[in-house]
Chain A
Amino acid sequence: MTTDQTSSASSALAASGPALIVSNMDVTYRVRGQDRLALRNVSFSVGRGESYGLVGESGSGKSTAALALVRYLPSNGRVSGGTISINGLDPLSMGKRDLRRLRATTISMVYQEPGRALNPSLRVGPQIAEVFEVAGESSGAATASAEDMLRKVQISDPGRVMRRYPHELSGGMAQRVVIAMALATSPSLLILDEPTTALDATVEAEVLDLVAALRQEFDTSVLFISHNLAVIAKMCDRVGVLYAGELVEEGPARQVFDNPRHPYTVGLLRCIPRRGQRKDRDRLDTIPGFLPTPGHSLSGCVFAPRCALAQDRCRSEAPPFFDVGELQTARCFYHEQAPELPRATPSSTPALATDGIGGPLVEVDKLSKTFGGGVHALAGVDLTVHRGETLGLVGESGSGKTTLARVLLGLIAPDQGSVVTLEGKPLSPDARRRPREVLRALQIVFQNPDSALNRRHTVRSLISRPLTRLAGLSGKPLQDRLTELIASVRLEDRHLALRPGQLSGGLKQRVAIARAFGAGPDMVVCDEPTSALDVSVQAAILNLLADLQQQEHATYLFISHDLGLVRYLSDRIVVLYLGRAMEVGPAETVFAGPHHPYTEALFSAVPSLDGQRPDRIRLQGEIPSAANPPSGCVFHTRCPRRLSTGVCESTEPPLLEEEPGHLIRCHIPIAELRQLQLNEPAPSQGGSA
């Protein structure tokens, strides 16, 4: 098994010798006196100048792999088998001093949170210079090198950045500084562990471009770790799919994603809403069952308990790697049938006649919210949510989407002059002053169920509370409704006695959804309801939301930064930027274009599994502060299509209905936008950040 695995991996390598070879690596954590295998028999290699992606859901062991390579495992973890070779050196047999030299010169890591990689009490400049000083430069030369390095990561004013403290930098800027430090010593291997997960889409796109460009320039080998399949598809030459501590499939990235041959990879890819999928036509596929508990000891294939193709053989015998295509290997006996893996969830939607979209339910007029310090989180937003529809709210952090949701619910009071109405009746700005009937009508599913569910209550009391408070139920009717509710979110009776801490993330979010639907709300606000969940769990939650909408005829305000999700679920879309609606329209129209230049930039920024879109436009610089928004059109500082007449800087364009139901806030007429977006790729324009 291991021999053909290693040989298939090494055949992909250039003659120069790979930068990293991992063979048959086991990693063990000792938990409460017992050893648990977190990684078993993992082999892969990264060729010189190659970019290798390690993809997997949480618990798959991908971060453990990264830590093991540089021997940064926590004290209860160790590499219990196999070998590692970095540039021909073996970190496992090194003493402290050699290990330190290896980390200083040969290998660098970039983590998810740039803020935690920088020392908060030192200015940025000395921190970067220190890397050069360790490498032997004098302090003067090191400062010059640091400045040089910052220029290479496209920081336009390195001198100014070097005098800053880390907290004065935005997330994207801080991540660039970290990348600069990582590349300072020209390492032969750069490990990136979810480097853009904490960043906004447009900033992520920029950082990914930067990494790709630097890889060319420095000829560095990259190990790229991510849960985001699309990011891996964009960034990597080859990819390895990790499941429950084992590598299950490996091959050229494009090939693996276009033609996966392991049932897990197939299932994972089907969980993601792809171009053209819509809630009213398709349900997403899901992966049944659970990840085995860490330290499992399965005799056969790790995926067998969840695999629709599994036969007796799979449960008794561990499959070796099979060559399934050019340089592609999959650890599955039935890899030939994998592409036809039977679906776990039927693709067709329940045959329920939708009543269509009704009249206005919630209307918002000139909604503004200014926080202390003059932060204009929302500036004059008008929008209407119709009964039965899903209104998607898209925007990056700081766009005001969460503030908007909280104002609607009465959790934050808007500025004077803002009006929120429910079926034409104005609502009190404070939830505490709203009558029970209004509270019943508007409910929310929060992003993080750990925060939204009181961990001291049982599932039963969490779900029952709205039924007693808002629907006025008790006794038998309450029990009946409770039974009905948990069935509709696919929980079971035995879950009722448990507390949130005893449930997995997906189950917790189901409890939160059941609670929101309990009293029969007219509108449910979904604030990034799946962003804390894994892809396969996310698919199930999206299906559930779509099903509930059909059954209960619910209206959603669906907030997300993920355009794929919004496209799958929404009927209409509002694009927010710095507290202003930049574009409003039916989902398909907004996606088809012509779009507002900001919407266009968002679309180009998001990596996709369906082949890369031509990178038409890239935004530069950061989102301006809402405390001090730019004059005129708030987007002009980053807009690649800014008019040369100066009107964008001086006058804020109105939100005009350019087509029926499609509103755009831009000085450029829609016909011209269409022309621009169809034909010529816009020049990447440097924003005066």
Chain B
Amino acid sequence: MSGSMPQPAEPGAASPVDPVAPIDRTGGYLGPNVAAAVGAASRATPGRWRLLLRRTTFWVGGIIVLFWVVCAIFGHLFVPYNPLAQQLLVNNQPPSGAHWFGTDPLGRDVLSRVITGARDILIITPLATILATILGTALGLAMGYFGGWFDTAVSRIVEAFLALPFAIIAFLFVVAVGASVGSITIIIGLVFTPLIARTVRTAVLVERHQDYVSVSRLLGERPARVMFGEILPNVMPAIVVEFTVRLGYAVFAVVTLSFLGFGIQPPTPDWGTDIAANYSGLLAGYWWQTLFPALAIASLVTAVALVADSIEQVLNA
């Protein structure tokens, strides 16, 4: 996959050529047009990623994600209050000039908690998804490539696993190993592994019947080389799409765990935990304690979905 990439065209300039290489009519002869034809085709390849930058959805999603990343990394530097500081005299305050998002029952600043609440989610989510993608890709490649009884057996296990509700599996894990950033990452990673494996397997099944796989058998290539050197690069687009889609679900999964109390433990600021702690206050009219963390969740999930969607559109174009 190394090798020199063809030189990209001037950015922004509309490519004057068709992405499809012209048909070779040379006969044995390679005329001067070859250079033009070849150059034309090579300019088209990196264009896919440029197409991504042209999509509004990608920009909107990307900027929101970036905003939360900044909050997660630098949020503690610019929060108006210490998110853990309790001011019992000003508890349950509605949004005001002093507390833009109001305060919670312990008098903590909701805005500060929402900003710093991004941190654990943005650590767990990508790590868990990367873990799931690595394991799922390896498993899916093996299932698709070897087929036969191995595929059948693993497929049945995957299906059985998928039939169990996510919360139950997570609950069992947390009870067994305890809730921490590390354990939640591993739980979500493992739960998502079969889903990714299933997608990768499907993509591999398509590739496995391509003639280049037969060719590598005729070259005496080992299975690992065929899987990782030949097939994997061709299923990468499917994996990238699956990764971004899973990222959105992972945000949701972290929040769900926190909400159920199996995730990030109080008093660490966290959107799911805070909603769980405060939603009973809705009845008393303290809507800001629930609404703002909920909006944060919604914005992050939506933003990741927008990015995922635009990547999928570009890769499948």
Contacts and interface: CB of A to CB of B under 8 A. Distances in A.
Given A454-B212, A455-B234, A288 B26 contact: yes
A307 to B, nearest CB: 12
B28 A409 contact: no
B23 A505 contact: yes
Interface string A488-500: 0011101101110
B211 A451 contact: yes
A652 to B, nearest CB: 33
A505 B219 contact: no
Interface size class of B (residues with CB under 8 A): 35 or more
A422 to B, nearest CB: 14
Contacts of B40: 293
Interface string B208-251: 00111011011111000000001001100000000000000000
Interface string B187-213: 000000000000000000000001110
B212 A431 contact: no
B219 A439 contact: yes
Nearest to A442: B218
Given A34-B14, A290-B37, A502-B6, A534 B25 contact: yes
A289 B211 contact: no
Contacts of B18: 31, 36, 293-295
B177 interface: no
| Residue among B28, B214, B217, B234 with most chain A CB within 10 A | B28
A501 interface: yes
B234 to A, nearest CB: 6
A285 B30 CA distance: 15
B14 A32 contact: yes
Contact of B38 (A432, A442, A503): A503
Given A31-B18, A540-B26, A289 B218 contact: no
B21 A504 contact: yes
Contacts of B24: 290, 503-507, 537
Contacts of B33: 289-290, 305
B256 interface: no
A580 interface: no
B17 interface: yes
B164 to A, nearest CB: 34
A452 B219 contact: no
A289 B4 contact: no
Given A451-B210, A454-B212, A291 B45 contact: no
A36 B15 CA distance: 13
B178 interface: no
Nearest to A271: B27
Contacts of A286: 26-29
A537 B210 CA distance: 23
Nearest to A495: B38
B27 A502 contact: no
Contact of A492 (B22, B27, B30): B30
B42 interface: yes
A470 B211 contact: no
B169 interface: no
| Residue among B15, B22, B218 with most chain A CB within 10 A | B218
Contacts of B285: none
Contacts, number: 175
A550 to B, nearest CB: 14
Contact of A288 (B31, B217, B233): B31
B3 interface: yes
Contacts of A507: 24
A456 to B, nearest CB: 4
A291 B21 CA distance: 11
Nearest to A508: B24
Interface in A377-426: 406, 409-411
Interface string A427-444: 000011010100100111
Interface string A278-310: 000000011111111111000000000110000
A36 B212 CA distance: 35
B41 interface: yes
A504 B230 CA distance: 22
B234 A454 contact: yes
B192 to A, nearest CB: 26
Contact of B217 (A289, A293, A432, A452): A432
Given A32-B14, A470-B220, A503-B41, A291 B27 contact: no
Contacts of A344: 27-29
| Residue among A36, A442, A498 with most chain B CB within 10 A | A498
Contacts of A337: none
Contact of A469 (B23, B38, B221, B233): B221
Given A502-B38, A503-B41, A456 B1 contact: yes
Contacts of A36: 18
Given A290-B34, A460-B3, A540-B28, A501 B41 contact: yes
Contact of B3 (A443, A452, A461, A504): A461
A466 B219 contact: yes
A289 B21 contact: no
Contacts of A436: 220
A465 interface: yes
A431 B27 contact: no
Nearest to A436: B220
A439 B220 contact: yes
A290 B22 contact: yes
A261 B12 CA distance: 46
A58 to B, nearest CB: 6
B218 A501 contact: no
| Residue among B22, B31, B220 with most chain A CB within 10 A | B220
Contact of A497 (B4, B31, B210, B214): B4
B35 interface: yes
A446 interface: yes
Interface in A445-468: 446, 448, 451-458, 460-461, 465-466
Contacts of A345: 27-29
Contacts of B22: 59, 290-293, 504
B27 A503 contact: no
A289 B25 contact: yes
B311 to A, nearest CB: 18
A501 B45 contact: yes
B16 interface: yes
Nearest to A537: B24
B27 A287 contact: yes
| Residue among B16, B17, B214 with most chain A CB within 10 A | B214
B206 to A, nearest CB: 11
Given A290-B33, A490-B30, A502 B21 contact: yes
A515 B215 CA distance: 10
B211 A506 contact: no
A536 interface: yes
Given A503-B38, A534-B23, A290 B210 contact: no
A501 B21 contact: yes
Contacts of B1: 456
A492 B32 CA distance: 12
Given A57-B23, A502-B42, A289 B14 contact: no
B26 to A, nearest CB: 6
B162 to A, nearest CB: 29
A288 B29 contact: yes
Given A34-B16, A345-B28, A59 B23 contact: yes
Contacts of A470: 219-220
Nearest to B214: A411
A136 interface: no
Contacts of B28: 286, 344-345, 490, 540, 543-544
22 contacts: A32-B14, A58-B23, A59-B23, A287-B25, A288-B29, A290-B37, A293-B36, A295-B18, A345-B29, A411-B217, A432-B220, A444-B214, A444-B218, A446-B211, A469-B221, A494-B35, A502-B21, A502-B41, A502-B45, A503-B21, A536-B25, A543-B27
Closest 7 CB pairs of A and B: A286-B27, A506-B24, A504-B24, A456-B233, A289-B31, A452-B211, A502-B41
Given A501-B21, A504-B22, 6 more contacts: A288-B26, A289-B26, A465-B219, A492-B30, A498-B42, A506-B26
